[in-house]
Structure formats: C-alpha cells, structure tokens
Amino acid sequence: MKKTRGEKLFYIFNCVFLGMIALLALYPFVYVLSASISSSQAVVTGKVILLPRDINFDSYAKVLSEKGIWIAYLNTFYYTIFGVIVNLILTICGAYALSKKRVMGRTAISFFIALTMWFQPGMIPMYLNFRDLNMLDNRFTIIIGFAITTFYVFLMRTFFQSIPEELEEAAKVDGANDLTILWKVYLPLSKASLVTIGLFYAVHRWNGYFWTMILLSDESKVPLQVLLKKLIVEMNVSDEMGNMAVYSKETIIYATIIVSIIPIVAAYPFIQKYFVKGTMIGSVKG
C-alpha cells in the first residue's frame, strides 16, 4: 500500500525526533568514555566535549593496578551471579503461589507482602538483625539477606495470571504436579519476563554499594563498587597539591565509571530481544 505524503512526513519526523532522543541518551556515556582517556587538564578546562583530547590511559592504569581490584571484580561476579539465581528462584516460587486462586488466604498474604514495599524496618534495625544472627562480614549475608524484591514478585505474579488456565488443566490431565507444571509450562512461556527481571536484579546486585559497605569489613570480600569508592576517596589529597589533585581525581572518577559498567553494557546486546519483550510484563492479560 502506497503511503501518502503526510504519512511519509510523519515517518521522517518520527525518525529525526527519536534519533535526537537516542543521541541525547547516548551522549553522557560517550562523554564519560572520552573524558576517561583524555588528559586531566583537558577535562578540567572543558576542552573535552565529545571526542577525547590528548589521549592517554593513565587513569585506567591507576584503577586497574589498584590493590585487590581483580579480587573485587570476582567478588562482584560472585554476588551478582549467585544472588540473581537466589532472587529468581524465590521470586518465581512466590509469584507462582500467589497467582493461584486455590491458595487459601492468598489475598491476605499478598496484602502483608505488599506492606513491605511502603513500611520498611530502616537501616539500624536491619543492621542489628544481621548482627544478632551472626551474619556480619559474611558473603552469604549479601546473597540471602536481600534475596527478594516485593515489586518483582507481584510483577511476575501478574504475568503468571495471564497464562491461560487451560494449559495447566491439560497438564494435570496428563498427571503433572505443580512443580512439573511450573517447570514445563510456566517457565518456558516466561522466558522474556525472567530475563528482564533477572537483568533488573543483576543491575541492582552489580551496583550494590551501601549494604556491602556496612556489612563487610574484610577487604578480601568487598565488591567492586566499594573498592572503587575507596580509590576515589584516596584521590582526595591535601590542599597543598593544588590543581594537580583535582586534575588526577577528575579522570580517575570517569575511569572508575567505565570500569564498573563495562560488564552490564557488554551483556545487554545479548539479552536485548528478551528485554524488549519483558518490558510489557503484565500489560496485556489474556
């Protein structure tokens, strides 16, 4: 079907408009990348706008030579991978149970779970709770202590509710139990949703800083974000260093940003197709 003149103009306008929005979203990343490989003086004096100036990799050499940087990287991967696995298992189990009308007290249980989204215990009570349970300075605490997010449970529950009940009934006729139905019926249909929620969990785990800083005192157990924060703090040298302290600190900050986000940025292209589908979780119910 041939497009009218107005449709063509509208299409061109959409492409230009969305292209400008994409460039605006991309610019901060390009700027940070350019600043991280530019000279300190070029960054501070505002010479770096889009492309790098006086290219050098001194900031990356400083960051990557920091004592314990690779151990911190491994720790972060450990907390992220095993943390996401635990997150997804508990989220799936909770969402599946709450999506079933036959579960007694389902509404009341959902209500009390939802309360945790608005009424939280606060930092000090949570810390005291971890201390009393002898869970301080323990890798296991970082994984199991933050094992589930209420919002994602309800998000997954909404998706499970959109799956036709006829599929479950047909599986039961064939002799399948709840575990088999969850594994062979619900999870294959929920691949996009699981990948999306898993990505959200992974980003949260990877960027985890506050509670890991409070609960972990052993430097051999701290994740990347805590170590990079320590590096930045160490760059705040005395005022006697003058502008040189400011210059070195600026490029170090940009280099730490790039080092910390590389794994997430590298993983996104491989799961983009699932992410696009998963963003529509629960928007349409069958």
* CATH number assigned to the domain comprising residue 141: 1.10.3720.10
Domain membership of residue 138 (yes or no) is yes
Which runs of consecutive H residues, i.e. helices, occur in the chain?
Answer: 5-36, 40-44, 58-64, 69-98, 106-118, 123-132, 139-144, 150-162, 165-173, 178-181, 187-189, 191-206, 210-215, 224-234, 243-278
Decide if 82 contacts 202 (C-beta within 8 A).
no
**Tell me, what's the pLDDT at 21?**
94
CA distance 109 to 94: 11
One-letter amino acid for residue 168 of the chain: E
**Tell me, what's the pLDDT at 236?**
64
Domain membership of residue 42 (yes or no) is no
Range of 97's domain? 67-234
**Structure-block tokens of residue 85:** 């696995």
Residue 192 CA: distances (Å) to CA of 26, 48, 153, 161: 25, 40, 15, 15
Question: How many domains are there within the chain?
Answer: 1
**Tell me, what's the pLDDT at 257?**
85
Decide if 79 contacts 205 (C-beta within 8 A).
yes
Q: Which residues of the chain have pLDDT under 50?
A: 238-240, 243, 245-247, 284-286
Domain membership of residue 202 (yes or no) is yes
Quote the pTM value.
Answer: 0.81
Domain membership of residue 7 (yes or no) is no
Domain membership of residue 45 (yes or no) is no
Domain membership of residue 208 (yes or no) is yes
pLDDT in tens, 26-58: 999 899 999 889 888 888 788 888 888 888 888
**Tell me, what's the pLDDT at 239?**
41
CA distance 26 to 12: 21
Domain membership of residue 55 (yes or no) is no
Q: What is the largest CA-CA distance in the chain?
A: 79
DSSP code string of 214-232: HH---TTT--HHHHHHHHH
Domain membership of residue 44 (yes or no) is no
**Tell me, what's the pLDDT at 92?**
94
**Tell me, what's the pLDDT at 238?**
42
